[in-house]
Chains A and B, each alone.
Chain A
Amino acid sequence: MIQATTAILYAPGTNCHEETAAAIELAGGRSDLVLLKDLMDGAAKLDDYQAAIVPGGFSYGDHLGAGRIFGTMLVARLRDQLTHFLEAKKPLLGICNGYQVLTEAGILPGRTPGQRGMALIENQSARFEDRKIRLIVSAQKCVWTEGLDGQILRMPTAHGEGRPLLCAAAAHAETRAVFYYGDDQGRPTMDYPANPNGSPGAVAGICDETGLVLGLMPHPERASLPAHYSQDGLRIFQNLVKWLRQ
């Protein structure tokens, strides 16, 4: 059997694709770096992959808005492939800028490409925040966090626009929070900088209704290798590999 392969989508300005591949490899999985331009030119196909990750960075310089152009490209040029990918119940993860891309494309929270239900807006501090945070895993059913409910994962965050804003129609999506920023007692917190962006409800990541599509601001790939200060992030990639093997 050919091993399932995860597509790590990157575009000009993406800068976390290589370490994301390294984390998947350590988790025992396989990945390809797939250039967005190759997808748009037909040189690569999303159909060839069993899962996909949009990693962090500043795609297209975050011009016009964080993740805006990458998100627009996905919707305008790859809508069919994307819809097919979602309908095939394949897992999709957006990390940091990737999370912003998925919300700009409307894939999170509602799986509605082209129709936005939430935005990730400028941090309350109006600054880029590089912090090591505690992430509380909720009981929300999500393939990426299976078996982790109630645990606290330590990993870095690094972003300037990570404060979720949900439109009224999508407000119920907040109930699908997968991660909360936690204080040193392990409780969801609004205290800065434990909650680095002022996220209402301390929400750090949410999934869609199927539990297949996850977006989070913190960086699990930077807390995965033995050299990192924490390997808690690896468990998210291990869950992916486990799911792909089932």
Chain B
Amino acid sequence: MAIQTIYTLSQDDPEARNWLGFFQRRGYSRLTSVRMERVVWLEGSFNIERLLPLLVNPLYQVAAEKPQLDPKQGPIVEIAYRPAVTDPETPSILAGAHALGESGLQFARLSRRYQFCGLDNAAAKSLAARFLYNKVVERIREPNEIVTTLQPSGAPDPVGSISLRGLSDDQLAALSRQRSWYAPLSQMKVIQSHEPERGRPYTDAEMEILVQSWSDHCYHTTWKSLGLLKKLMAATRQINHPLVVSAFTDNAGGMEFADGWVVTIKGETHNFPSSIAPFGGIATKHGGVIRDTLGFGKGAYPIGGTTVMGTMDPRLPDDQVPAGALHPGLIVSESIRATAYYTNPMGIPMMHPVYRCHPGYAKCFALGHSLGLIPKKYALKESPQPGDVAVLFGGATGRDGIHGATASSAAMTGDTLEKESAAVQIGHPITERRFTTAIPILRDRDCIHSITDLGAGGISCAAGEMGAGTGVAIDLDTVPLKDRSLTAWEILLSESQERMLMAVPAEKLDEALAILDRFEVASCILGHFTKTRRLEATWRNQKVVDLEMSFLWNACPIDSTPTARPVRVEVRPQLSEVSGRDEWGKAVSNVLSHYHCCDQSPAGSRFDSTVQGRTALGPYGTSGRMPTGIYVSAPLRGRAEGIITTLAFNPFYGELDPAGMARLMMIEAITKAVAAGANYREMVLCDNFYTPRVRPETAFDLVEMVDAIATLSVELGTPFISGKDSSSGTFEAAGKRIDVPPTLAVAAMGRVHDVNAIVTKEFKRAGNRLVLLGLTDPDSLGGTVYADTRSHRVGRLFKPADAQSVKAQWDYILNLHARRACVSASAIAEGGLLLRLFEAALGSGLGAEVNFESFPRGRRDGHLFGEFIGACLLEAAPGFEIPEKVPHFFVGSVTAEPNLKLREGNAVIWQESIANLTETWSRTFREVVK
């Protein structure tokens, strides 16, 4: 079949310009220019002239049948998908061509040619391999390659057979290693001892399914052995909150909202893939957590998302990056590009873009949340019935992500980057967008008994879990493949993205398939649910899997996890109190420009925050860049009821006192919402843990953290309804181990009765009085940004008031808001009171004057920079008073002049314009992503 090519150049190519800057900043100083040429490959019989309007816009693109880049100008690298893999754009091109009447076009592919002027050939290729393509699915196309067909080709391996009989412990361990199973010996022995009663060896597919399903990533063996999820679930049961609809049992948690609707929340981490291939890892982090929403109940609709990144300092000099780890600056900038690439086309508003750093995040923390909306009557799944049809829909199945679950569960080492990059998936938002539109329609037509997404473990996990109570028989020959060379176990385990599985009542099958077809969602009848209580799969007339569900789901041995209290010596920081104009100026600058406090809008402004028309208050103020710290959605268009979300994540606290950090994260998340006027009694929480690989000391910390939040949630009456844990936060290279700090991110989600009544952060009126309400302790500066700017992260973590007092303070604030006594409010977190004053001034165009005379005794810098979690900055009319019994002090007042001023009585200690401070605050992140 004839193959033709079209080469296009853009006259004005900001993307190529951007890459040039990107590479130059990463040390390619000899690079003088980057040019990009896009190539379309077409196979079939067609009239090329008639296809041109689809392929080229001559207003800004120049097309030719031959390459236009001149090889004399510099080396050219052409990147294309591997021959066995289908391009994501292929269906779009074919659909467009067929619309133009060119149905003789049989296949199409794209490739990209980059020219790197100033580099030699080898340098160009190595640069491309580092930054521009994913070896699992893409490759460099050599210039003289002869192409006979574009259509995917390749042959699969035959089904293998694996017998564990007679293998010694050492041999079992070696086999597990050699196959990249990462299965502990105890699991290998259980599988071995089960073999005789089966009467035949395992197929490779069966072995792969077992080790995958029992991996820590899928089975949460660490958490199970420590009984942690049980503790959180017990606390939530004990609270018995009337608004909780679904907690911990589904793909997300659900809270009753209004008018027969439920809102859902889920947080998911994707730490391992994001550490080795940030673009793919982060894109699929979003894709995956969004599918958790789509797979809640009988299908919820995603209405909001977050991206939360913990990395090493992105400004780290190259020589301080651990060998085998990617540079954190690259992880951050690639993560931003990936979040924009995925969430914008999905049409999901960004609620909280958050970036933090800590030297322990050699294996990064990559968290994303998804919020969903679903009618209450569809919020609970049904069990699939025997006879229900298993329909697989969405993207085709490829080689991407194989062994993702087992690799995620292992520690990351210096050579992981090379070895396991196959574990990283590729994300295509357009595919997910198609079924995001279709799922609510399928749901509302009662086509769905049960629905779940395909994540870790792929088809085997989704079908195995959904059919656990009945049995399921699947036919792998029906699965649409994007890679022809996949064998049975690879089809079963592939973690190709954008796929969902649903159980459809047989009488609804035709209707369901018609709906999927109307929205151009590819689907197949994967199989059906049975009464056998077995997981069965056939492929090319062979039975490749026949496992008892009881063995698959109940036989996994849980190794006991010993715990031991780690030794932590509290080191008292030797922080002298600042004094004098210069020292104050420096202290303020250092805090405002700290990575955790600075302007992160260079990242946040790349994510759509208003799509769906539900956003009442986004991540930034209504004018400019003031971070709001809260997100408010009005999910039911035209109605005033809202959902508020907040987030607390602080890696500095965790290393000092894991349990103390865990409590502070809960209080911080709730207080941020209470300050805005949301009632903590109508709030639920989502937890995401990230802890080092299990050792007795890290297990001890984990237990302490979970105990702390379970207890506090009962005391506060605020339940956790969803969460996720990852206990693989350890990086090992060259005999050096780097553990992540004990990490817990808490998201709060609450109901508000009128989104227009939300009290926002920015100042409202000059002359108003400012008060700090809540417990303070100027000497507890451990873990604060302020201490970090003075190279001290040691010291005592701030201890909040007891639960009863915290609730009394929240009630006091809510009471003020009910009387409309405060016109602006914000909760204290990183950067302390100082950061809140600056942001509130920035968002309003006003200023603030701080008068130390009205402060309580104790160091001034401690009061201004201390991170008194649970306390709030409030703005009220000049005569505003607060009863003595409520802990508080008066800070000063709002000024018309846009300055920040520190006074002691009549003496001005320091002052600076908000404009100058804004410049300081803006610089840090701009440098990271520029």
Q: What's the least CB distance linking A31 to chain B, in Å?
A: 13
In the complex, which residues of chain A have a beta carbon less than 8 angstroms from the beta carbon of B608? 128, 130, 158
Query: Is A146 an interface residue, CB under 8 A from the partner?
Result: no
Picked from A58, A130, A226, A228, the residue with its CB within 8 Å of the CB of B606 is A130
Picked from A68, A72, A128, A229, the residue with its CB within 8 Å of the CB of B340 is A128
In the complex, which residues of chain B have a beta carbon less than 8 angstroms from the beta carbon of A122? 12-15
In the complex, which residues of chain A have a beta carbon less than 8 angstroms from the beta carbon of B344? 58, 128, 158, 160
The interface bits of chain A over 7-37 (1 if a CB of B lies within 8 angstroms of the residue's CB, else 0) are 0000011011011101101100000000101
- Whether A221 contacts B613 by the Cβ 8 Å rule is yes
In the complex, which residues of chain B have a beta carbon less than 8 angstroms from the beta carbon of A141? none
Q: Which of B95-103, B412-420, B785-793 contacts A (4 or more CB under 8 A)?
A: B95-103
- Whether A12 contacts B520 by the Cβ 8 Å rule is yes
- Whether B433 contacts A15 by the Cβ 8 Å rule is yes
How long is the Cα–Cα vector from A197 to B55 in the complex, in angstroms? 24
Chain A interface residue bracket vs B? 35 or more
In the complex, which residues of chain B have a beta carbon less than 8 angstroms from the beta carbon of A89? none
Picked from B346, B642, B756, the residue with its CB within 8 Å of the CB of A15 is B346
| Of B17, B92, B604, B638, most A-chain CB atoms within 10 Å | B92
Q: Binding site of A, secondary structure by majority: helix, strand, loop or mixed?
A: mixed
- Whether B610 contacts A72 by the Cβ 8 Å rule is no
In the complex, which residues of chain B have a beta carbon less than 8 angstroms from the beta carbon of A22? 613, 637-638
Q: What's the least CB distance linking B498 to chain A, in Å?
A: 12
Query: Is B428 an interface residue, CB under 8 A from the partner?
Result: yes
Query: Is A61 an interface residue, CB under 8 A from the partner?
Result: yes
Q: Which of A46-54, A113-121, A173-181, A208-216 contacts B (4 or more CB under 8 A)?
A: A113-121
- Whether A116 contacts B17 by the Cβ 8 Å rule is no
How long is the Cα–Cα vector from A91 to B100 in the complex, in angstroms? 26
How long is the Cα–Cα vector from A57 to B879 in the complex, in angstroms? 50
How long is the Cα–Cα vector from A12 to B433 in the complex, in angstroms? 7
How long is the Cα–Cα vector from A128 to B429 in the complex, in angstroms? 16
Name A124-138 residues within 8 Å CB distance of B: 124-132
Q: What's the least CB distance linking A196 to chain B, in Å?
A: 9
- Whether A60 contacts B613 by the Cβ 8 Å rule is no
How long is the Cα–Cα vector from A73 to B12 in the complex, in angstroms? 26
Q: Which of B479-487, B614-622, B725-733, B820-828 contacts A (4 or more CB under 8 A)?
A: B614-622
| Chain B residue at smallest Cβ distance from A131 | B605
| Chain A residue at smallest Cβ distance from B343 | A128
Known A12-B434, A229-B622; judge A69-B54 contact (CB<8 A).
Answer: yes
Q: What's the least CB distance linking A168 to chain B, in Å?
A: 10
- Whether A35 contacts B518 by the Cβ 8 Å rule is yes
- Whether A129 contacts B100 by the Cβ 8 Å rule is no
- Whether B96 contacts A228 by the Cβ 8 Å rule is no
In the complex, which residues of chain B have a beta carbon less than 8 angstroms from the beta carbon of A123? 14
- Whether B54 contacts A228 by the Cβ 8 Å rule is no
How long is the Cα–Cα vector from A130 to B640 in the complex, in angstroms? 24
Name A74-93 residues within 8 Å CB distance of B: 75-77
- Whether B99 contacts A77 by the Cβ 8 Å rule is yes
Name A201-231 residues within 8 Å CB distance of B: 219, 221-222, 224-230
Query: Is A62 an interface residue, CB under 8 A from the partner?
Result: yes
Query: Is A156 an interface residue, CB under 8 A from the partner?
Result: yes
Query: Is A104 an interface residue, CB under 8 A from the partner?
Result: yes
How long is the Cα–Cα vector from A158 to B612 in the complex, in angstroms? 12
- Whether B100 contacts A116 by the Cβ 8 Å rule is no
Q: What's the least CB distance linking B243 to chain A, in Å?
A: 21
- Whether B347 contacts A57 by the Cβ 8 Å rule is yes
- Whether B520 contacts A225 by the Cβ 8 Å rule is no
- Whether A72 contacts B59 by the Cβ 8 Å rule is no
* CB pairs A–B below 8 angstroms (30 shown): A12-B430, A12-B433, A18-B612, A22-B638, A35-B519, A56-B611, A57-B345, A60-B96, A60-B430, A61-B429, A61-B433, A64-B92, A69-B92, A69-B96, A76-B100, A76-B101, A116-B57, A116-B59, A126-B18, A128-B340, A128-B606, A128-B608, A130-B609, A130-B610, A158-B344, A165-B59, A222-B611, A222-B613, A226-B756, A227-B634
Interface residues of B (CB under 8 A from A): 10, 12-15, 17-18, 40, 53-55, 57-60, 88-89, 92-93, 95-96, 99-101, 340, 344-347, 350, 428-430, 433-434, 437, 518-520, 604-617, 620, 622-623, 634, 637-638, 640, 642, 755-756
Interface residues of A (CB under 8 A from B): 12-13, 15-16, 18-20, 22-23, 25-26, 35, 37-38, 40, 56-58, 60-65, 68-69, 72-73, 75-77, 104, 114, 116, 118-119, 121-132, 156, 158, 160, 165, 167, 193, 219, 221-222, 224-230
Q: A126-B14, A225-B637, A227-B642 are in contact. List 13 more A-B contacts (CB 8 A).
A: A15-B611, A57-B347, A60-B95, A61-B433, A68-B96, A73-B95, A73-B99, A121-B60, A122-B15, A127-B18, A158-B344, A158-B610, A227-B634
